[in-house]
Chains A and B, each alone.
Chain A
Amino acid sequence: MINTIWLIFFLAGFAAAAISGRVDVITTSTLKASEKAVTIAIGMISVIAFWLGLMRLMEKSGLTLVLARVLRPVVRLLFREIPPNHPANGAIVLNLSANLLGLGNAATPLGLKAMQHLQDLNREPGRASPSMCTLLALNTSSLTIVPTTVLALRAASGALDPADIVGTTLVATAASTLIAVLCDRVARYLSFRRPGR
């Protein structure tokens, strides 16, 4: 799936550039994009390093276990195959909480930590495990109570009440998360019945 889409982006891009007679765009924008990708990835080191440091403190002090215990029912419901006392539980809880609060900067490093823990449990390291797919589904649909970036943007553009979209956002984010979880369950069930998918 991802291979096909990737290729389609290239082919469609080439075709569109050729039609409008600007094939040179292909060369310039691939170079520009690679450069930007490196800048983003390297730029992420700072935030990731800081939050992984803080995460280690949360793990060593037992804070993640406390949190994991509080939110255990939710995590157990969605991630049945993770052993109850595995550190993945705590990391998942922290990642989901950061998403809820709209702390994008914190959510990504915490999610990456959760992925690492899930990878330890993964029997086929090159292939996403069902739990990894579930964590991903929850993050792409990102259940948010406080959409901080949008609030900042609305405040900056002079909205009378920047937060008046919190309610509508909550409805939309709940819908997307609900569908994400349902689709994930269905896909999990189908791939279980047809191994190899």
Chain B
Amino acid sequence: MIELVQSVSRWILPVLIVFVPVFAAARGVRVFEAFVEGAGEGFEVAVKILPYMVAMLVAVTLFQDSGAMDMLLRGVAPIFKALGIPSEILPMALVRPLSGSGSLAISASLMEAYGPDSLIGRMASTIQGSTDTTFFIITVYFGSVGVRDARYSLPVGLIADLAGFIAAVWITQAVFGA
């Protein structure tokens, strides 16, 4: 199973990257020119994202670096304890929607501390893999087309994150729990 999964994920991109130009050429597309034309938009898209990225990253970093995040963690820890959720996993739950690299760093440190095959390590892996960074996705996706009013997207994304977190904690305890 693992070998199949690993070889699929190793092969899919290389095959796709070669298949697309070959297929396009077979369909009579002037491949080089079309590629350059499409790639030319890359710069513009990235530049459009930039101000949104600055706004979001500054706010999130301020929240973390100032110690506000730690205070929030300490504040909600008792609630987690009451619900029977291991408190070690708490930082994952709060950082996951805010920062992809941040939560990846936390899962790495949890696996370092408890081992990747521990319940905590598996829980962190499942949380990391099951949702994406809501704030980042909103910033980049809406920023790239200049949409400033995200409407109900943030609450929807955060509720889905919470659902993913609860499901991850529950299923890892059910499958890997003692």
* Interface residue ranges, A against B (CB under 8 Å): 1-2, 5-6, 9-10, 12-17, 19-20, 22, 25-26, 28-30, 32-34, 36-38, 40-42, 44-46, 48-50, 52-58, 60-63, 101-103, 106, 108-109, 111-112, 115-116, 118-119, 122, 125-128, 132-133, 135-137, 139-142, 144, 146-151, 153-154, 157-169, 171-180, 183-184, 187, 190-191, 197
Bin the interface of chain B by size.
35 or more
Question: In the assembled complex, how far is the CB of residue A193 from the closest CB belonging to chain B, in whole angstroms?
Answer: 13
Q: Per a CB cutoff under 8 Å, which of B40, B53, B115, B131 touches A173?
A: B131
A169:B66 contact, CB within 8 angstroms = no
Complex Cα gap A41–B164 (Å) = 28
Which B residue's beta carbon lies closest to that of A28? B65
Min CB gap B82→A, angstroms:
22
Are the CB atoms of B157 and A141 closer together than 8 Å?
A: yes
Residues A63 and B24 in contact in the complex (CB < 8 Å), given A32-B61, A175-B167: yes
Residues of chain B contacted by A183 (CB below 8 angstroms): 155-156, 159-160
- A173–B147 CA distance with the chains assembled, in angstroms: 27
Q: With contacts A16-B66, A37-B57, A57-B38 known, is A139 near B132, CB below 8 A?
A: yes
Known: A15-B68, A57-B21, A159-B116. A144 touches B145 (CB 8 A): no
Q: State whether B137 touches A175 (Cβ < 8 A).
A: no
In the complex, the answer to whether B164 meets A141 with C-beta atoms within 8 Å is: yes
Asked if B138 and A48 sit within 8 Å, CB to CB, the answer is: no
Across-interface contacts of A108 in B (CB, < 8 A): 140
How many A-B contacts at CB < 8 Å in the complex? 368
Whether the Cβ atoms of B127 and A172 lie closer than 8 Å is yes
Q: Given A57-B34, A126-B146, A154-B125, 20 more contacts at CB 8 Å?
A: A5-B154, A30-B62, A33-B62, A36-B57, A37-B56, A48-B42, A52-B38, A53-B37, A57-B35, A58-B20, A60-B24, A103-B12, A112-B141, A127-B147, A140-B133, A157-B112, A159-B111, A165-B129, A172-B165, A184-B156
| A11 to B, closest residue via Cβ | B68
